Amino acid sequence: MVNSIKVQAPGTVANLVCGFDVLGLCLHEPYDIMEVQLLDEPVIKIQSADGYPLPTDPQRNTAGAPLVEMVKELDNSVGFEVIIHKHIKPGSGIGSSAASAAGAVVAANMLLENKFSKEDLVRFAMFGEKVASGVKHADNIAPCIYGGITLIRSIFPLDIVTIPAPDLYVTVVHPQIEVKTADARQILRKEVLLKDAIKQWGNIAGLVAGFMKNDLDLIGRSLEDVIIEPVRSILIPGFDEVKRKSKEAGALGGGISGSGPSIFMLSKEKSTAQAVAQLMNEIYDRIGLDRHTYVTKINHQGVSLAPTLTPKSA
């Protein structure tokens, strides 16, 4: 039996435009690398591979807390050691904490020969999100574990729906400023106009239909958020310009990734996605903000074995 495994835990885009709080998408890049080892005693050990300062108390670590829950359900018969190569910057808005949580439970489950269902894994991983933000939410966890595009119709009870989608390119820019999730949530109004809500649910219905029909024009028309984006985008320098120019360059559309500050854009062609990255870089160069830019695709697999896997046998 393999007792050690190395996985790639990818970034994710939550709050997919009109799908605030319910729709998420899995990326190929960036991703964390996580090495997870099965132990025969009920301890959870967390270690940072590259000196990145991570809490080592498992209860306070986004990868640790989910494993604590998993081990509880296994009657404390096993434990895990986790070494994290953290590449997704916390606070980027592309699911850094979810990657750690999802990567840990998927890897652990592989070592347990898939004892748990994906839904179980989401349930465990949400304890990691609770550590990170104080709230159990699944809109990064679910796409990270299921891959592709996921709808979290409900958290209690958990209801995850995979949405088949075309093989689109995703350009992500992470301007190096801090937007705290709590702040981004704070500025939202608790009430919204019914007429705006109607527009929003018309758009999410159109977006889901567009993904499932492979109708790129419909996807583009539906990628409109009349409620959250107008408020939150003011926290992100350059947002309007990035969006407008990306669409002019041929992107289908996009918006804020998670609660920001990252911005993502969907494109049909790689060349468009690259042109979008180029103009994002130009905009932030001009503004004078450091940034990371990724040209990647929708990742239909979610957390996966790292290709450089060299398993140690028990």
The residues binding a copy of itself (CB under 8 A) are 18-23, 151-154, 159, 161, 163, 188-195, 197-210, 212-213, 218, 221-222, 227
Closest to a copy of itself by CB, 192 vs 287, is 192
Residue 171 designated active-site: no
- The amino acid at residue 77 is S
CA angle 27, 214, 211 (to 5 degrees): 50
Catalytic residue among 12, 62, 171, 181: 181
Task: Write out the H or E segment, with its range, that includes residue 246.
Answer: helix 239-248
Helix (H, G, I), strand (E, B) or coil at 46: strand
What does the DSSP 8-state code read for residue 312? Answer: P
Closest to a copy of itself by CB, 48 vs 162, is 162
Helix (H, G, I), strand (E, B) or coil at 134: coil
Residue 248 designated active-site: no
Tokens found for residue 122: 């989401």
Alpha carbon distance 196, 155 (integer Å): 24
Closest to a copy of itself by CB, 20 vs 116, is 20
* Closest distance of CB 97 from a copy of itself, Å: 21
Catalytic residue among 35, 129, 224, 229: 129
Tokens found for residue 256: 């804020």
- Count the Cβ atoms, other than its own, within 10 Å of residue 214: 12
* Closest distance of CB 252 from a copy of itself, Å: 15
* Closest distance of CB 61 from a copy of itself, Å: 29
Closest to a copy of itself by CB, 40 vs 159, is 159
Contact 297, 168 (CB under 8 A): yes
Contact 24, 143 (CB under 8 A): yes
- Count the Cβ atoms, other than its own, within 10 Å of residue 113: 8
* Closest distance of CB 249 from a copy of itself, Å: 23
Alpha carbon distance 208, 164 (integer Å): 9
* Closest distance of CB 221 from a copy of itself, Å: 6
Helix (H, G, I), strand (E, B) or coil at 127: helix
* Catalytic residue list: 129, 181
